[in-house]
Structure 1
Amino acid sequence: MTRLPKKAALITTAVLPFALGATAASAAQITSWDYEVDNSFSDVTFSEGTGTGSVAADGQSVSWGSDDARSSISITDASNPPPLVTNGDMVPGGVFSHDNAVIPASSAALASFNLNSTLTLTAATPDEMAGTSPDPVTISFQSFFTETLNNGDCFEGSASTCDDVFSLANPEFGNLNEAGNFEVTGPNFSIDGTSYSVFLEIVGLNQLSDEQCAVADAPANCIGFLTQEGNNNIFESNFRIETAAASVPEPGSLALLGLGLAGLGVAKRRNK
């Protein structure tokens, strides 16, 4: 039987368990989450004109127009949401609505706003990760609003007389997904060596035609949606989460593994 020199055997015995253990010691990936969503509007501005614009104290609704005719937008948080599965399907985030009334042309109107969705995550499975919670993730849509004239001279694609237009100020922070909806990526976060990314979409938010973008005074190929006059227009927001495993050993672990292998090589040469 081959015997290792005492010194080489000690190096190998001391180093290999740490080196091999470093590659195996990786926390379990979180497979499902409980979550809460807090939606709100911020940085709201209005155009000049008669009447008033107002923002609710909880930041979840904005209204504008005259005393007799007012339009509004509101956002409602998802209630009793289902579990959010890592690398799974979209789950509800909230409901955005535009109650689009015909207001006087001279009225002050909504001009711009940020729609903010803050997601608070708590790991549900596996059991050994349950209760783990990263910092809340906030995703914002910076938006412009165009209150169109209701004079019958409407642009292409307008279903009412005339549709109003929402457009994004920061479309470079997202892309159209497979469903054709615009999706924004939130900041990444890591838990025990695994990186997670949160994505938020608004159903119906997509690329507008050049003429529709021009009406909104936005660049060609802008991202936005139209809302019909005289209707309460509803748009749902949804979340999903993806992960990219980061189980590669750290440089220190690789160095330990290298020392262990080197010790085996020295022992083999000495034995020869």
Structure 2
Amino acid sequence: MTTKFKTTLKLLAGAACLLSAHTFAVPISNFDFTAGGGFVDGSATCDGGGTCGITYSNADGLSGDFLNINWGTPANTNPSGLEIQHDPFGLGSIQVGAGPQVVGSFSHSNFVLQAAGGWMNFVQVSGIFNLFDPDTNMIAPTPIEQINNLAFYETLNSTPCDDPFPGGNATDCDDVFTTEILAGAFDFTIDGYIYTFSFGFQAGPGLTGFIFDTWDFGDGEVDVIRIWTQEDGVSTIYTTATIDVRPVPEPGTLALFGLSLLGMGAYARRRKQS
């Protein structure tokens, strides 16, 4: 009997080891995406007096909204403005497990404006993001489509500054804009692997800094990112995307491991009885 129990234990343990070492299909290394969006025509408002000369330009191919918005009266040599940038056709690819990768950018041309001209203080921004597997199947729950609020504040260029970047150089009186964070952090499973997708942000050239906060645009608090941009120059913040991967725990392995423990328990009881 002892020999039979030993043989059973060896078979169970061996099978458990083989199954636990089972290799899944090779994980996907790259996912394609399309990205689009822009400033919603007619949604911008002005502050500081005047009409502020708002213009929209450069229509986005995916959303139909505009990638550029500018403001400033003819008296201003360089009109200030915001620009959204991504691949001209909205196409791109994200490498799995490679950390944050840039999928687009948001730039502010921050020029000194005449106070009488006013400035844009609010605009709606659309965002579209579609993720595809290697067989061009769309990954649920994308597409991500939403309209975000963006508030802009042109600080007065005199000290003390009224909304300085926390811990930053307050003498420059950097301008600041506040925008809702693009939603989209989710898991999806393909061929035995769990993939985790998430958006992020990275500071680019000329950016003073940014913080995550909450803000009320008039209909309740939402998560936002507040961004400070240097005076008399161009500042950029990058939107990034990350996809990480991990194997799905295999139920068969866990079940067989439990069976192995059961066999060991039976063998221990048998030995005690003998």
TM bucket (normalised to shorter chain) is 0.5 to 0.7
In 2: Cα distance, 1:265 partner to 1:191 partner = 36
Q: 1:148 aligns with which of 146, 155, 175?
A: 155
User: Contact conserved, 1:39 with 1:77, CA < 8 A, in 2?
Assistant: no
* Residue identity in the other structure for 1:224: I
How many Å apart are 1:224 and its aligned residue?
A: 1.8
- 2:250 aligns with 249
Are 1:62 and 2:69 counterparts? yes
- 1:199 aligns with 199
* Residue identity in the other structure for 1:227: Q
**Percent sequence identity over matched residues?**
19
In 1: Cα distance, 2:126 partner to 2:28 partner = 25
Cα separation, partners in 2 of 1:262 and 1:89, compared to 1, 3 Å: closer
User: Contact conserved, 1:93 with 1:236, CA < 8 A, in 2?
Assistant: no
Cα separation, partners in 2 of 1:61 and 1:93, compared to 1, 3 Å: same
- Does 29-38 or 72-81 show the bigger shift? 72-81
User: Contact conserved, 2:185 with 2:199, CA < 8 A, in 1?
Assistant: no
Cα separation, partners in 2 of 1:207 and 1:38, compared to 1, 3 Å: closer
Unaligned ranges ≥5, structure 2: 6-14, 58-63, 162-169, 212-224
How many Å apart are 1:88 and its aligned residue?
A: 0.9
Cα separation, partners in 2 of 1:90 and 1:265, compared to 1, 3 Å: closer
In 2: Cα distance, 1:137 partner to 1:26 partner = 29
Unaligned ranges ≥5, structure 1: 5-16, 125-129, 174-183, 209-221
User: Contact conserved, 1:75 with 1:94, CA < 8 A, in 2?
Assistant: yes
* Residue identity in the other structure for 1:41: F
TM-score between both structures, scaled by the size of structure 2:
0.57
TM-score between both structures, scaled by the size of structure 1:
0.58
**C-alpha RMSD over aligned residues:** 4.6
Structure 2 counterparts to residues 1-272 of structure 1, below 5 A: 24=22, 26-42=24-40, 44-48=43-47, 49-51=49-51, 52-56=53-57, 58-69=65-76, 70-79=79-88, 83-113=93-123, 115=125, 117-124=127-134, 130-134=135-139, 135-137=142-144, 143-150=150-157, 152-153=158-159, 155=161, 156-158=170-172, 163-168=173-178, 186-192=184-190, 193-202=193-202, 203=204, 204=207, 206-207=209-210, 223-229=226-232, 231=233, 233-249=234-250
For residues 215-237 of structure 1, give each alpha carbon's deviation from its aligned partner in whole angstroms, at most 9, with x where no partner exists.
Answer: xxxxxxx84222323x3x14152
Bigger proportion of residues as strand: 2
User: Contact conserved, 2:130 with 2:144, CA < 8 A, in 1?
Assistant: yes
* Residue identity in the other structure for 1:99: S
In 1: Cα distance, 2:65 partner to 2:146 partner = 18
User: Contact conserved, 1:82 with 1:91, CA < 8 A, in 2?
Assistant: no
User: Contact conserved, 1:78 with 1:92, CA < 8 A, in 2?
Assistant: no
| Structure 2 SS opposite 1:50 | coil
* Residue identity in the other structure for 1:149: L
